[in-house]
């Protein structure tokens, strides 16, 4: 069964450093998303990406965050200057047709900012 | 704004028994989809079942079924013949058919299965 692949599975970074989280969505999916989950809390939407541009973003997705689909297969989330409160599980997801058939999520990247 | 409420933070069920997890939602849209996702300790988000709002028939996937009450905006998940592998966090989620791109999640219900 097709999978969404995320790398790395765990990343530890110093506060103030830049991090890039990587994702390979399912090949025939057109919509791409990033979500985060702070430990023990709900899953929060960050951004959606369609047709090579951001289609929607949340209040969390401020100027510190950016997304890219650099080569037609990878989908990346960059955090420019990490803060302690950015420590969370970050999930990439993709879908064929928005929410119609649900999203397929990756296994997540656990980001720890120290 | 859409909201999804899961009123049971934790539940437990005996192995082989049946358990129902509750979810209510609030929306003014008519074209939407509802989902249950399972998050085991590995923290992967796994789609369990989906329901299209315009279909009256309740969705079923093997031991998992839903009770979709559109007028009441209720979407509960029934797990029959519970197995140890069903132990996980379960999230109810709402997605628009034509408006917002995001899924809105509830806070989750932690299900324990007792051998």
Q: Does the beta-carbon distance from B102 to A48 stay under 8 Å?
A: yes
Q: Domain range holding A9?
A: 5-113
* Domains and their CATH numbers in chain B: 3-108 (2.60.40.10)
Which pLDDT does position A5 carry in this prediction? 95
At CB < 8 A and 24+ separation, what contacts does B63-70 make? B64/B36, B66/B34, B66/B36, B67/B20, B68/B34
Nearest CA to B34 among A16, A107, A102, A65? A102
Instruction: List pLDDT tens digits, range B61-94.
Output: 999 999 999 999 999 999 999 999 999 999 999 9
- Cα B35 to Cα A26, A75, A113, B16: the distances in Å are 20, 24, 32, 24
Question: Which residues of chain B does A33 touch, with a Cβ-Cβ cutoff of 8 Å?
Answer: 101-102
Render pLDDT for B4-25 as a digit per residue (tens, 0 to 9): 999 999 999 999 999 999 999 9
Conformation bin of residue A106: beta by default, left when phi > 0, alpha when psi is -120 to 50: beta
Contact call for residues B108 and B21 (beta carbons, < 8 A) = no
Nearest to A99 among B33, B46, B107 (CB): B33
CA A87 to chain centre: 13
Query: In CATH, what number is assigned to the domain containing residue A10?
Result: 2.60.40.10
Cβ distance A108 to A10 under 8 Å?
Answer: no
**SS3 category, B16:** coil
pLDDT above 90 for A29: yes
**Count of structural domains within chain A:** 1
Cβ of residue B33 closer than 8 Å to a chain A Cβ:
yes
């Amino acid at each position: 069964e097709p999978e969404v692949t995320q790398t790395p599975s765990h990343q530890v970074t110093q506060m103030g450093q830049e991090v890039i989280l990587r994702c390979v969505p399912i090949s025939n999916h057109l919509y791409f998303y990033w979500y985060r989950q702070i430990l023990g809390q709900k899953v929060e939407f960050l951004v959606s990406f369609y047709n090579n541009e951001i289609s929607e973003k949340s209040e969390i997705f401020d100027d510190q965050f950016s997304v890219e689909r650099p080569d037609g297969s990878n989908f990346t989330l960059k955090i420019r200057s990490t803060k302690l409160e950015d420590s969370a599980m970050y999930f990439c997801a993709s879908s064929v047709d928005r929410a119609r058939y649900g999203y397929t999520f990756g296994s997540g990247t656990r980001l720890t900012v120290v | 704004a859409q909201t999804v409420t899961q009123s049971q933070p934790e539940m437990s069920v005996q192995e082989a028994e049946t358990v129902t997890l509750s979810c209510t939602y609030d929306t003014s849209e008519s074209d939407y989809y509802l989902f249950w996702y399972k998050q085991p300790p590995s923290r992967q988000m796994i789609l369990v079942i989906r329901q299209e709002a315009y279909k009256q028939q309740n969705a079923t996937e093997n031991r998992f079924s839903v009770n979709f009450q559109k007028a009441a905006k209720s979407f509960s998940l029934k797990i029959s013949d519970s197995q140890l592998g069903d132990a996980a966090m379960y999230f109810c989620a709402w997605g628009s058919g034509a408006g917002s791109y995001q899924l809105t999640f509830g806070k989750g219900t932690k299900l324990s299965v007792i051998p």
